Copies of this chain bind each other. A is one copy, B any other.
């Protein structure tokens, strides 16, 4: 085929299809609202302003490879009430395994699980959960553990909404993640939750693949059984990715300092500091749970997702506090 033989119509088709099928070639035309579930106001304006400033030529431009955005998970990307969802998973596992472990009746934190004593459990924080996780998953391969998580996401139901837990993700945050990625940001989860617990479902729920999930972890070891290799989970905590552990985890896994970070509790304080106390444009976001009707309202005195120091520090640091009740049109995708 020579170009000389092409009709005007064919050339028009190639021009149109070639252009439209290739996002990088699109001219700067008015686009649909990238954040339709965010109410108009200063929060939404601040997000859009930041993304535009950091991606357009000018003093605040950030090179594509440096566009790193980190998100806490529990309470930031999905709900965390009345229990961290990972804790609900672990409780289901402990209960199922208790008949083979009579000693758990007298040993914390298992005793608290069996007795339904959530207050004692909560007091242990995310570290306590990781301990329970390690105990209930040791002796399993990571692949078998992953399969047990997938099974749980399909079968378990949240007590208040009677929905799979993975449907209780925040619609406005899904839009924010997509908006950032459309602007060449790489979106990472940096969570106190267990990394092996999150990875099986974060790609489906958030579009975040396993290698962009940073979390707490138990120790593992490689095993070769005949010609069958596996990675076995061991009953020991390796790393707690919470509080001051978050910047450490970011440094270890990502190796670059984020320019955007979002959290909802004091467990995210150091991640917000590490991200924003730096030169150049930076965005710190705190999700403030203010909507008792559609979700939950809690902050300073909560056992779960306590938000106290970070809320005090927000004005001084210029962090954007998202008021869930006022800023979000809908909370969950199923409300759309």
Q: A65-B203, A210-B254, A229-B247 are in contact. Are A22 and B18 (CB under 8 A)?
A: yes
Interface flags, A2-33, vs B, CB<8A=1, else 0: 01001010011011101101101100000000
Q: Is the CB of A217 within 8 A of B252?
A: yes
Tell me which of B18, B203, B245, B255 contacts A25 (CB under 8 A): B18
Alpha-carbon gap, A199 to B227, bound state (A) = 34
Interface of A is mostly: helix
Does residue A95 face the partner (Cβ distance < 8 Å to B)?
A: no
Nearest neighbor of A200 in chain B, beta-carbon distance: B255
Of A106-114, A125-133, A269-277, A328-336, the one with at least 4 CB within 8 A of chain B = A269-277
Q: How large is the interface on A (under 10, 10 to 19, 20 to 34, 35 or more residues)?
A: 35 or more
Interface flags, A205-229, vs B, CB<8A=1, else 0: 0000111110001001110100111
A-B contact pairs, 23 of them (CB 8 A): A8-B8, A11-B12, A11-B15, A14-B15, A14-B19, A15-B15, A21-B22, A22-B22, A22-B24, A22-B25, A65-B203, A65-B209, A68-B211, A211-B256, A220-B248, A221-B248, A222-B245, A222-B246, A222-B248, A222-B270, A222-B274, A229-B247, A231-B247
10 shortest interchain CB distances as A-B pairs: A210-B255, A18-B18, A22-B22, A14-B15, A11-B11, A222-B244, A222-B247, A199-B255, A211-B254, A18-B19
